[in-house]
Amino acid sequence: MVLLFFVISGYAVSISIIRLREAAPMHFYWKLTSSVLRRGFRLYIPVLATCLLSHVALFAGLIDWNTGNPTEGRPGAEPWSALGSHLSCLTMTFLSTLDLTRFLQVTGYNFQLWTISYEFRCSLSIYLVIFGLASAKAWVRLMAIASLGAVFIWFGSPIISAFLAGLMFAELDVAKENSLYPSTGVGKRYHTRLRATCLNLLPGLLFNIGIFLLCLPQDPNFPPEFWFQSQLALLFYVDPQIRIRAWHAIGAILVVGALRHLPLVRASLEPKFAQFRGVISFSIYLLHPLFIMILRNRILEGVCHSLWGTDFWQTRQDESAWHVLFLAWVAAGFIVGLLLVLASNYMAGYIDRRSVAWSYQVEKVLCGH
């Protein structure tokens, strides 16, 4: 899902900029430089709020989670004590999201924040590609972006390839809007019923292939039936984890690309509830580990004790208690999910959206206008 988000992010950070390239070059330049300056503040203000919330919960002893890592949260950061250790943990956590502590990674129970530094660096890379290709012809830009994506995925950098794919889809949409590829009428002459059927079936086929690749297991020791993953080990993929991430990236690119030509599937993403989930999705991503670590185990324990008289792990050993485990997981999922959505909606309105306005304020201060 992270690779899928990266493709969408590559599209989102570029589409509003490149639409100005032909229509208003001066506005294009201002929009590009403004986006570069504001991007870090836009991303890291909600991240800083998440780090503060998680460490308040850690200090208050609310987190019920055993990571199995003795350095997690920094040694000595015990509940209601050692405030200095907690402040050190908070500082190191935030620096880790900036990828400034490569030799000492401390997540502070925010293990989901590893993606933020990739989001920031790859967004800046996309801005650089947009600037470098601004004067090129439309077909040259598309060829250059596709070539860059292939080179990066070949050399084991599938995340930047996912962002570049999003940029390529944005370029295709802008080219279509501006009619940069005028129709010659040649295609209509040979537009047979068979060809039309094949063209209609192709997006669905690519969509299903993409979903299959996205669902490949993370385990690098693939069973024999995954012959393409084991036999097509590209030359530079010395790390099995990078190789499987590359397959996930290809799957994400296929899914997003195919969705652009599947109106029936895309229509399911257009209702208000689906749009609402999109608005709060970043906040859900930032907050979901905190809600799971505070509530999930407590709810599982409470349901098992109430209905079966034993704790969760003892209940798991009893085969006759399967219905209790089912109810425990349903209760945990419902309660955690409901509270997470409510909190994410609040965070999206009061922190995430305001971070956009705050980033503009910072830009005014830094630029003097």
Task: Determine the pLDDT at residue 78.
Answer: 76
As a residue count, the chain comes to 369
Count helices and strands in the chain by DSSP H and E runs: 16, 0
Rounded Cα–Cα distance for residues 188 and 165 (Å): 29
What would the pLDDT profile of 272-312 be if each residue is shown by its tens digit? 888 888 889 999 999 999 999 999 999 999 999 999 888 89
DSSP 8-state symbol, 320: G
Task: Determine the pLDDT at residue 187.
Answer: 47
Task: Look up the pTM and report it.
Answer: 0.84
DSSP 8-state symbol, 6: H
Instruction: Collapse the DSSP code of 249 into the 3-class scheme (helix H, G, I; strand E, B; otherwise coil) and give the result.
Output: helix
Residue-by-residue pLDDT tens, the chain, 369 positions: 889 999 999 999 999 999 998 888 889 999 999 999 999 999 999 999 999 998 888 888 888 776 555 455 566 677 887 788 888 888 888 888 887 655 556 666 788 888 898 999 999 999 999 999 998 888 999 999 999 999 998 888 899 999 999 999 999 999 888 775 544 444 454 456 666 666 678 888 899 999 988 888 776 666 656 655 555 555 556 677 787 888 899 999 999 999 888 888 878 777 888 888 888 999 999 999 999 999 999 999 999 999 988 889 898 988 888 999 999 999 999 999 999 999 999 999 899 888 988 998 888 888 876
Task: Determine the pLDDT at residue 243.
Answer: 79
What would the pLDDT profile of 129-157 be if each residue is shown by its tens digit? 999 999 888 899 999 999 999 999 888 88
CA distances from 265 to 82, 101, 127, 259, 260 (A): 53, 42, 30, 7, 9
Contacts of 27 (CB under 8 A, 6+ apart): 20
Task: Determine the pLDDT at residue 196.
Answer: 62
Task: Determine the pLDDT at residue 113.
Answer: 87
Residue ranges of domains in the chain: 1-181, 196-270, 273-367
